[in-house]
Amino acid sequence: MAAAKEVKVPDIGNFDGVPVIEVLVAPGDTVSKDQGLVTLESDKATMEVPAPFDGTVKEVKVSEGDEVAEGAVIALIEESTSAGGDETGKADKAASDKGAEEKPAAEDASDKGDDTAKQDDERKADAQEKEAPAPTPSTTRRGPEEPPVEPGKLHVPGEVPYASPAVRAFARELGVDISQVDGSGRKGRITREDVQGYVKHALASGARPGTAAGGGNGLNLLPWPKVDFAKFGEIEEQSLSRIKKISGANLARNWAMIPHVTQHDDADITDMEAFRKQLGKENQDVKVTPLVFLIKAMVAALKQYPQFNASLSEDGEKLILKKYFHIGIAVDTPDGLVVPVIRDCDKKGLLELAVELGEISKKARDKKLGPADMSGGCISISSLGGIGGTKFTPIVNAPEVAILGVSRSRMAPVWDGGQFQPRLMLPLSLSYDHRVIDGAAAARFVAYLAKVLGDLRRILV
């Protein structure tokens, strides 16, 4: 019998303390290669840590609510000697994949029926509470191991709220800041119903989830219209995907908190397009689209105007200027929008970027992107050029300070001083954070981008 091997958290980018939101296996389970063992959730995404080989789980080293970093041991697995894994393993995988894709922990609990789920939840929390070591101030664990509240005492804002990981996950999905929710459970524990009640109250009072109900940083907007659409005709309800819920909350925050302005301009890409076509003919195994030229032009513009390669500090007091050139690319997937990042674009050639763009787009559409793939971006490009449109106003991807929207190129008559010439024009739309970028700087930045795209030799300057 082979000795059990340690399975560790792989490279998840520059993240420490990433919460384990779901443990998908238990000792004794048969697992097959690539089957998810645990689910981690950073601010950007959720990802599963997969089994590196077929085998049997001997020990699980983490619990829901633990926080982990690269290299942390997740489980001990004894590698199976038979190749290919057995049918049980495959069935387990199918079940766990389904669970991971379709049912966050919180929803699992709710599906059991409110009472049973609530009792299960209470029992689990109680058991874990008894087993948990005495918490210390430096502890990095979260969830049920957090300090219990005195009997009967409700949560006071500012204190660490006490809620199970399932309830926390549920609150996160709804964009609710759990520290704002009062707990009605035993010892002041926050229950799923408390979160639901908070959202209902927030909606009724005009505030949105994630803001203090009826005040705080709430925008004091009218309540969301409540309409019985079925009264007007046939309808069908569809749940939003997990990506849509996460990106939706981010987009709403960025739209509400960043004073956006969008600057439009056109680049003459007639010569660039001729070169692109030539490059495509010479390298038929690589798809070279206008986007890779935009990435290179973006690097040149960021070098020329460094305040666009920057982020505001959390307190809004400082600008953090970046000396690297990592560019986020908005990718449309059936589940929603994701923004993987291509790193060190200044050091890569057009063909290398084209290959990488193809790889990350595929990875995004195959739902294989992890937090590391989506972090560290300096500025984003959202290209709808392959689809159509003349202009649009993209939303800045905080904490970046600008985003470039690209629409479809078109032939247009351009006056050359003596006559009109047919030129291929590419519409550019730069949305920027007006707290950081002045309108004149944005106009110069986009004009420079257009100049580089009009004469690619400028990339070398």
Query: Which candidate, 174, 170, 57, 181, places its Cα nearest to that of 111?
Result: 170
Q: Which stretch binds ligand CAO (CB under 6 A): 239-247, 304-312, 377-385, 444-452?
A: 377-385
* Residue facing ligand CAO at closest CB distance: 385
Minimum distance, C-beta of residue 191 to ligand CAO, in the bound complex (Å): 36
Q: What's the rounded Cα separation, in Å, for the pair 356 and 370?
A: 16
Q: Is 337 in the site for ligand CAO (CB under 6 A)?
A: yes
Among 331, 353, 401, 452, binds ligand CAO (CB under 6 A): 331
- Can residue 384 be called a binding residue for ligand CAO (CB under 6 A)? yes
Q: Is 383 among the residues that bind ligand CAO (CB under 6 A)?
A: yes
Interface segment toward ligand CAO; rule CB under 6 A; list 106-114, 225-233, 308-316, 401-409: 401-409
Measured CA to CA, the distance from residue 95 to residue 75 in angstroms comes to 19
Going by C-beta distance under 8 Å and a sequence separation of 6 or more, which residues neighbour residue 334? 365
> Among residues 63, 289, 304, 307, which is the contact residue for ligand CAO, using CB under 6 A?
289
- By CB under 6 A, is residue 424 in contact with ligand CAO? no
Tell the smallest beta-carbon distance from residue 202 to ligand CAO (Å).
27
37 in Cβ contact with 28 (< 8 Å): no
Element of type H or E holding 422: strand 420-433
DSSP 190: B
Position 409 contacts ligand CAO (CB under 6 A): yes
Q: What is the DSSP string of 313-368?
A: -TTSS-EEE-SS--EEE-EEETTEEE--EE--GGG--HHHHHHHHHHHHHHHHTT-
Give the one residue of 89, 290, 328, 454 binding ligand CAO; rule: CB under 6 A: 290
> Residue 434 catalytic?
yes
CB of 153 to ligand CAO, least distance (A): 45
CA distances from 285 to 224, 329, 386 (A): 50, 22, 19
Residue 311 near residue 319, CB atoms below 8 Å: yes
Does 329 participate in binding ligand CAO (rule CB under 6 A)? yes
39 binds ligand CAO (CB under 6 A): no
Q: Report, in Å, the least distance between residue 241 CB and ligand CAO.
A: 14
Question: Distance between CA 337 and CA 44 in Å, rounded?
Answer: 12
Residues in the site for ligand CAO, rule: CB under 6 A?
Answer: 289-291, 329-332, 337, 357, 361, 382-386, 394-395, 406, 408-409, 426
Catalytic residues: 434
